[in-house]
Chain A
């Protein structure tokens, strides 16, 4: 049987609270008929019950009781949409500063950020923060929906004033693809259907822009050779071991010369398989199983790589988004998870905190909740890393509280180009 082949685009909504992110996603799902009748009926009933009109589109994604009571998004909602050639995974992120960790959760896997802002208020600090975090997380493409155009009588002047602000910031943050679209999420103008209210605009609708953007940027961002962090060692019948993990960076082939790190053993790939079936090459994103020529004592946390090789180090210069309730301070001890490796870590130096308005570094010796800063970390065990800008998998890590096991920071190896 033929199954239509689709690619996969992951997108995250970003922007300040009340600028209409959830309403826009609701509109997008309703107008592309992704919602079932009973789901739409439930949204209508919930809207009437709370006296917010016939149909509050934000209730499509704001599914928690507390979210509907307060009219805000607290945590990411994942929604799915399909077109004939593409599956979309949509992370609708919260706008409040206190939920920045949840926004980063949604944006960390995104190929593209869909920024939503209110035309009347322009680029708020929180929108700048989200765009900055998206850029730090390696998102290169943004679609900006300049929302609530109906409230400014579809004014070209109001739109263009905001466009200037966005373009300036986008250049500073090094986004490579930027579409800026005047919309009314409430009325549906330029979301799925082209609007008749903008004779001065002949660009794409939001859906057009999402359809046209590159899928799989997450998987294909890396340019530094193949990497396979070993997750699990599989014992083969008749003896021998193979190494299971997800391929990233580049394709691995049978016969490739590879280096096992951090032990630095050079060897060859002698077998490749997927789900127990032998294969001759494994592309990025495949959960593969690799056999090596040399006798090794490799295990979970080690990494198989092709040239150019990653660095082996126990000192990392990093960019950190701190989510802990108490400040991060010099000398603090935590646990760090990088690929499949977990090691104790200590904060050696805090180099400063990012000023979101000016996009430069202020001196600081601690990081407060939701601060983004630069820090040098000392790890107990050796890590095998690439710069985050070269490889999102081998360049990222999280910090974990040793007592509660809570995830308290998102970390990236190296510094963003715009800092």
Chain B
């Protein structure tokens, strides 16, 4: 029994309502689908998703495994966090490696410095097929991108893993329906209606831990295409680029060679929330080279089956 007085739980403020809605979606998908999996990158959104999944099924163990699509171009801090986070909740971790897809000849090796971002889709879809997953939870939010803003909370994928934005299932009320035929699957996005600020406020409220790279620290960086990239095994300075040691943090966590750092002194959750609240560049705009290829870069990748 508890030692503190019981509280009335009010689902009235916006974070409470978003939290309960996400838990409702997690439970609904687990109940309707045969073999769900939670996609976990070690980033803040998937950390929130894992935290909500634990709440949804407490005191039971998580009724599904956690899967990381590993490009092999990670920040080491993120992998450390991934292993710790999965260990703490006692989940089973499935790691699907882009390197394996390269070794099997399914995708072409872009070289040590080349981006493996787009190759992930092949690895992801193969892993979903091989494990016969029929539902994959993701931490994507609709405020991230204009194509994501169009996507249903339960997003249907055909046997090729494709998203067809012109043929989405109507999604009425909170009647989420995730039934699929063999070979098809749904992506489920419990954080659809959360914004970047909601996520940070929730992390602070729940006193969650995150990979260190989200907080301001000193790092060697180079400026490339308007973005600060961390110098390391996947980013080497080119001839005309100068290495600078700056105080930075990361607003998103992706591959080390396409995720930009932002100049920031925000070293605590409070400081990050203040910074995010007045930011005038979007999260992906500030930090993701992969969205800058074309006007509909995200839509094109999503159609192929990307996250």
Q: Residues on A close to B: CB < 8 A?
A: 1, 3, 5-8, 36-39, 42, 45-46, 49, 61, 63-66, 68, 74-80, 82, 87, 89, 101-102, 104-105, 108-109, 216, 219, 231-232, 234-237, 244-247, 254, 274-288, 300, 323, 337-338, 340, 392-393, 396-398, 400, 404-407, 410
Contact = CB atoms under 8 A, between A and B. Distances in A.
* 9 interchain residue pairs of minimum CB distance: A63-B146, A276-B58, A38-B285, A275-B55, A285-B11, A286-B11, A287-B23, A36-B282, A280-B6
B169 to A, nearest CB: 5
Nearest to A231: B27
B150 A6 contact: no
Interface string B10-54: 111111111111011001101100000000000000000000000
Contact of A283 (B11, B14, B145): B11
B20 A65 contact: no
A396 B175 contact: yes
Contacts of B145: 63
Interface stretch (B89-97, B120-128, B176-184): B176-184
Contacts of A89: 193
Contacts of B11: 247, 282-287
Contacts of A286: 9-11, 16, 20
B146 A1 contact: no
B172 A407 contact: yes
B270 interface: yes
Nearest to B283: A36
B14 A36 contact: no
Interface residues of B, number: 71
B79 interface: no
A8 B170 contact: no
B147 interface: yes
B59 interface: yes
Contact of A405 (B24, B166, B179): B179
Contacts of A74: 165-166
Interface of A is mostly: mixed
A276 B55 contact: yes
Contacts of B80: none
B15 A3 contact: yes
Interface of B is mostly: loop
Given A80-B143, A231-B31, A300-B31, A75 B24 contact: no
A77 B177 CA distance: 20
10 contacts: A3-B205, A39-B285, A42-B295, A61-B146, A78-B142, A78-B150, A105-B171, A232-B57, A246-B174, A285-B11
Given A76-B150, A275-B58, A393-B173, A38 B281 contact: yes
Given A7-B12, A232-B31, A78 B149 contact: yes
A1 B203 CA distance: 12
A397 B150 contact: no
A36 B280 contact: yes
A282 to B, nearest CB: 6
A36 B285 contact: yes
Given A7-B13, A65-B296, A405-B177, A104 B170 contact: yes
Contact of A410 (B16, B28, B168, B172): B172
B204 interface: yes
